[in-house]
Amino acid sequence: MTDNTLLNQDTANNDFFHDFIIFLTYIEKNTIRRTATGNISLADIAALKKDFRQQKIFKDYEKHGWKIASEVDIRFLTHMKVLAEVMYLTYNRKGKLLISKNGRGYLHNIDPITQYWNMVETYWHKISWEYVNPSFEIDGEGVMDILQKNQNIIWDALLRKEYEWIDFQAFCETIKVHFNLDSYFKDKGYGIDFFPIEYGLIKNNLFRLGCIEIEEEKNARGFTKIKRFKPTKLGTYMFKK
């Protein structure tokens, strides 16, 4: 089996990429109605939900008897909408979200690896991480701003580990020291909460995009936290790119 075949399988297995293609295909066939605030309509969310692989948020709402009130409740959907707009795959007209000529070309004229690469490149370089994962700011600069500016240093460090497991706490401590983030991360009496790194960099970025695997455990306070993670073949490919 060739490297390209394996990479194609990995991209196909990534739920976020799968749902991004589903999202664009839906817009091509149906268009999407936008609310007065610019959000995707609840009717379109319900239709999209049926084919999305990312079901956890929907199941959580059902479990607690909650109703999805807005697109804002489905963060990954907002991320996909922003991605599509920044990539010029969609455009807005008269209260609707429509597929563009670029969007049709993206869907039908390029292979999955190239589709995936373009999506990730946009996510990493053209969308503000601070916008999609707001963090504590000092003088107008947040943790995610700093990590995004220095992402190549992080990718190089992960490449040196290749497929080895990386202790999450040690990783966060290294980032704190290397990028002088002491002012952002202070011990609150129960240890340091590295929430921005856990979600902004790991869960909502590298893990979501299939670039790493993670193992979790419950901490002393009973919360599920990341214990360790390691790059995947797809992640190693992207870090090298």
User: Are 99 and 212 in a shared domain?
Assistant: no
Looking at the structure, tell me whether residues 43 and 77 fall in a common domain: yes
The Cα–Cα gap between 233 and 101 comes to: 32
> Do residue 84 and residue 153 come from a single domain?
no
Q: Which of 240, 235, 170 is nearest to 13 (CA)?
A: 235
Tell me which residue range forms the domain holding 19: 3-125
Helix (H, G, I), strand (E, B) or coil at 112: helix
pLDDT tens, 11-36? 989 999 999 999 999 999 998 999 98
Q: Are residue 12 and residue 71 in the same domain, yes or no?
A: yes
Q: Tell me which of 85, 106, 125 is where a domain ends.
A: 125
Helices (H), the chain: 3-13, 15-30, 42-49, 56-64, 75-86, 101-108, 112-125, 129-132, 143-149, 151-161, 168-178, 195, 233-240
Taking phi first (over 0 means left), then psi (-120 to 50 degrees means alpha), and beta for anything else, what does residue 166 get?
Answer: beta
pLDDT at residue 231, as a whole number: 95
Whole-number pLDDT of residue 223 = 76
Q: Which sign does the torsion angle of CA 205, 210, 213, 218 carry?
A: positive
133 & 118 share domain: no
If asked whether residues 91 and 143 sit together in one domain, one would say no
DSSP annotation of 184 = T
- The pLDDT value recorded for residue 190 is 54
Phi and psi, residue 184, nearest 5°: -85, -35
CATH number at 199 reads 1.10.10
Instruction: Render 132-174 in DSSP notation, one character per residue.
Output: HS---EETTEEHHHHHHHTHHHHHHHHHHHTTS-EEHHHHHHH
Total count of domains within the chain: 2
HSE-CB for 108 with a 13 A CA cutoff: 9
pTM greater than the 0.75 cutoff: yes
Task: Indicate if 13 and 119 belong to the same structural domain.
Answer: yes
Distances (CA, A) of 73 to 35, 89, 110, 161, 169: 14, 23, 32, 36, 29
| Other CB atoms within 10 Å distance of the CB of residue 182 | 10
Q: Which amino acid is at 114?
A: T
Last residue of a domain, one of 69, 104, 125: 125
For 210-234, write each residue's pLDDT tens digit. 999 999 988 777 778 899 999 999 9
Low-confidence ranges of the chain (pLDDT < 50): 1
Q: What is the pLDDT of residue 241?
A: 87
Instruction: Mark which of 93, 125, 157 sits at the end of a domain.
Output: 125
